[in-house]
Amino acid sequence: MSMIIVTGGAGFIGSAVIWMLNNKGFDNILVVDQLGESRKWKNLVNRKYRDYIHKSAFLESLEKHQFDGVDTIIHMGACSSTTETDADYLMENNFHYSVTLATHALANNIRFINASSAATYGNGSMGFRDDPATLHSLKPLNMYGYTKHLFDLWAVRSKALKSLASLKFFNVFGPNEYHKGDMSSLVYKGFFQICEKGLLRLFKSTHQEYEDGGQRRDFVYVKDCAAIIGWLFENPSITGLFNVGSGNDRSWNDLAGALFSATEKTPQIEYIDMPEQIRKNYQNFTKADQKKLKDAGCPIQCTRLEDAVSDYVVNYLQKEDPYL
């Protein structure tokens, strides 16, 4: 039986990928991650997989061909903190590690699916088209986005993009993000604000083009992300750079409304000043151009924001076991 490797498999999107694979009947899965003292391990409790290996030992073991029959590597592993300041760590962990893994995969005819990020688009002034020809024009606003951008540039320059799929994820939310702390979605953090205080705090706008809470994002449910990865897994001939979003831009106020509806609470929003340290790099608008993915034949229809928030709240956050 062929083996599937999922790096970052105990993480947010990675564990959702394993959930998707389990639902398709696959459990010969090697999980690669760094659990440390975080709560990520809980994301694996409900999942079926063959083994776990620490990320520091994984590359050496792979290059020694200690894993037989690997046909797919789904590389979700990375430091995803947009506020991480150790640039050397991010270069090694997000960029060089990914290049080494992709190079090995392609040299051994292994399907490689990589996690890039919409953070590569910077302030969005160049738009949100997943066109490799425009990559050199993009200017990421944080080091996390830059390291993801560097991988995509490498994939184009080395012509590896013709043999792999790199996915630019937009604002992902959903079950199994509970270990992410400040990097968790507003849906998750807002749920507890509403339950504990009866209100939700949103940032005031710093641009006159947008009302308070009117800044717009492409929010995408993690189950939809997993479904798209599942489609790419089943269609290994599909390669290139692809946006993974809903294709819709919705306001933070829309998200708040969906949360209050799902929790059956009376809407009460408190607008607070945006911290100075994030104003300069704050994205007021994101919207994934999904045409390329659709033209490739992807049949996945992303869940409407209100329905996704309701599913997350009712079937996970309000349950004793909130994990996929």
Tell me the torsion sign for CA atoms 100, 103, 105, 107: negative
**Residue 25 region, left (φ>0) first, then alpha (ψ -120 to 50), else beta?**
left
Burial grade of 34 (CB within 10 A; 0-12, 13-18, 19 or more):
middle
What's the pLDDT tens digit per position in 264-301? 999 999 999 999 888 888 889 999 999 999 999 999 99
What does 244-291 look like in DSSP terms, one character per residue? ES-S--EEHHHHHHHHHHHHT----EEEEPPPHHHHTT--SB-----H
Catalytic residue among 40, 148, 168, 180: 180
The CA R_g of the chain, rounded to the nearest whole Å, is 19
Catalytic residue among 49, 97, 121, 144: 144
Q: How much of the chain exceeds pLDDT 70, in percent? A: 100
What's the pLDDT tens digit per position in 166-205? 999 999 999 999 999 999 999 999 999 999 999 999 999 9
Mean pLDDT rounded to a whole number for the chain: 95
Check whether domain 3-172+219-247+286-303 has CATH 3.30.70.260, yes or no: no
What does 224-236 look like in DSSP terms, one character per residue? HHHHHHHHHHH-T
Query: Which of the 8 DSSP states describes residue 94?
Result: I
How much is the pLDDT for 219? 98
Q: What is the band of 1 on the pLDDT scale with cuts at 50, 70, 90?
A: low
Where helices occur in the chain by DSSP H, the ranges are: 12-23, 55-63, 87-90, 97-107, 143-157, 186-197, 222-234, 252-263, 276-279, 291-295, 305-312
How much is the pLDDT for 62? 85
**Res. 23: pLDDT tops 90:** yes
Mean pLDDT of the region 289-318? 98
Q: How far apart are CA 11 and CA 34, in angstroms?
A: 9
Tell me which residue of 78, 100, 99 sits closest to 90, measured CA to CA.
78
| 144 catalytically annotated | yes
How much is the pLDDT for 18? 98
> Taking the model in full, what pTM does it have?
0.96
How much is the pLDDT for 232? 98
**Res. 141: pLDDT tops 70:** yes
Q: What type of residue sits at position 266?
A: T
Structural domain spans, the chain: 3-172+219-247+286-303
How much is the pLDDT for 277? 83
Using DSSP's 3-state secondary structure scheme, residue 68 falls into: coil
How much is the pLDDT for 320? 97
What's the pLDDT tens digit per position in 43-89? 999 999 999 999 999 988 988 888 889 999 999 999 888 778 899 99
Q: How far apart are CA 170 and CA 286, in angstroms?
A: 8
Tell me the torsion sign for CA atoms 8, 13, 16, 17: negative
Mean pLDDT of the region 129-143? 95
Tell me which residue of 268, 256, 261 sits closest to 219, measured CA to CA.
256
